[in-house]
Amino acid sequence: MSKPRSRKGNDVDGILLLDKPLGRSSNSALQKVRYLFNAKKAGHTGSLDPLATGVLPICFGQASKVSAYLLDSDKRYIFTAQLGETTTTGDKEGDILETREVSKFSKEQVEAVLEKFRGGIEQIPPMHSALKHNGQPLYKLARQGIEIERKARSITIHELTLLSQTEDTITVDAHCSKGTYIRTLAQDIGEALGFGAHLSMLRRTNVSPFDCSKLYTIEDIEELAETNKLADTLLPIDSALIKLPSIVLNDEEAKRIQNGLKVSRRDIPTSDMIRMYLENKVFIGIGRYSSDHQLAAKRIMQIN
């Protein structure tokens, strides 16, 4: 039997790697999972469109204090570009703008085009995105038929691997930096091939720095909720920061940091973000190396 639900919700801290289903918005998936956990507070990091599936980190409780740092992390996707058709939204949910004949093309041709997109490139964000213009999301303007000039942004495509191809599609594995729009990448690759394209399938397979080999579906969460085993699905908060340098504080130093004071040590990592731990390995927050060469608090966790 599951426990009675609290009206206000329970204090839940940790990170869930959700496998977002097809056809559901990121916010809808978030609210469903939050309900199943009966959690007071939850948020996601880096939304996925309804047509996309895959890794959607859900940050519960105090994990929300580190969620902003996940927005800056590298991501990995598998996507399929439908060649010969461009659409109003850049994906299969939009209306067809143009149809072109797709002539026979080789793997070597595709590889030559993909090479142009590897490394540092400039990308113009799509109108159908959450970026804002004068406080208004671009996608809302796009729905009104309004197009705003967008500045190109620098992104990095670390890896771009052709997985398969048919007579009119290519499926690609992309490891990319923050700010990369895969629908735009699919469109641009299609244009470079000479056929035009739109995004027909998208799955996010990894969010750095997590090991995303184990994901939980909403169905998994529903089953685990029935047996009160939801806590087993949660990663610790500091798992999102594992690549950062760390420092261990004694009780006196920890109290100073928690009271907003600085700590003087010779072994403070010279970093703007430092994981801070108590001697019993409890994570207490994020610190920084200050201009006066001391350890200062950046985000502090509440310790029970």
The answer to whether residue 191 scores a pLDDT higher than 80 is: yes
37: CATH: 3.30.2350.10
* The Cα angle at residue 165 between residues 159 and 168, in degrees rounded to 5: 120
Query: Tens digits of per-residue pLDDT, 240-273?
Result: 999 999 999 999 999 999 999 999 999 999 999 9
Q: Is residue 7 part of a domain?
A: no
Residues 170 and 133 in one domain: yes
- pLDDT number for residue 8: 76
- pLDDT number for residue 72: 83
Residues 117 and 218 in one domain: no
The residue type at 216: Y
- pLDDT number for residue 2: 47
Domain that residue 253 falls in = 244-300
Question: Helix, strand or coil for residue 129?
Answer: coil
Residues 85 and 175 in one domain: yes
Residues 63 and 116 in one domain: no
Token pair listed for 189: 């690759």
Query: Tens digits of per-residue pLDDT, 99-116?
Result: 999 999 999 999 999 999
- Per the CB < 8 A criterion, the answer to whether 14 and 234 are in contact is yes
With cut-offs at 50, 70 and 90, classify the pLDDT of residue 25. very high
- Report the number of distinct structural domains present in the chain: 3
Q: Is residue 217 part of a domain?
A: yes
Residues 150 and 184 in one domain: yes
Q: Whole-prediction pTM value?
A: 0.90
Residues 116 and 166 in one domain: yes
The CA–CA distances, whole Å, from 166 to 57, 162, 169, 196 equal 33, 12, 5, 15
Q: Is residue 5 part of a domain?
A: no
> 258, 266, 244, 267: which is closest to 296 by C-alpha?
258
Query: Tens digits of per-residue pLDDT, 144-189?
Result: 677 777 788 999 999 999 999 999 999 999 999 998 999 999 999 9
- Per the CB < 8 A criterion, the answer to whether 227 and 220 are in contact is no
Q: Is residue 230 part of a domain?
A: yes
Question: Helix, strand or coil for residue 152?
Answer: coil
Residues 131 and 224 in one domain: no
- pLDDT number for residue 286: 96
- pLDDT number for residue 154: 95
Q: Which helix (H) or strand (E) holds 11?
A: none
Question: Helix, strand or coil for residue 205?
Answer: strand
The answer to whether residue 223 scores a pLDDT higher than 60 is: yes
Q: In terms of residues, how long is the chain?
A: 304
Residues 99 and 162 in one domain: yes
Q: Is residue 4 part of a domain?
A: no
Query: Tens digits of per-residue pLDDT, 74-98?
Result: 999 999 999 999 999 999 999 999 9
49 is catalytic: yes
Q: How far is Cα 169 from Cα 76, in angstroms, rounded to an integer?
A: 20
Residues 91 and 154 in one domain: yes
Q: Is residue 222 part of a domain?
A: yes
Residues 105 and 171 in one domain: yes
Question: Helix, strand or coil for residue 73?
Answer: coil
Choose, from 11, 13, 19, 49, the residue flagged as catalytic.
49
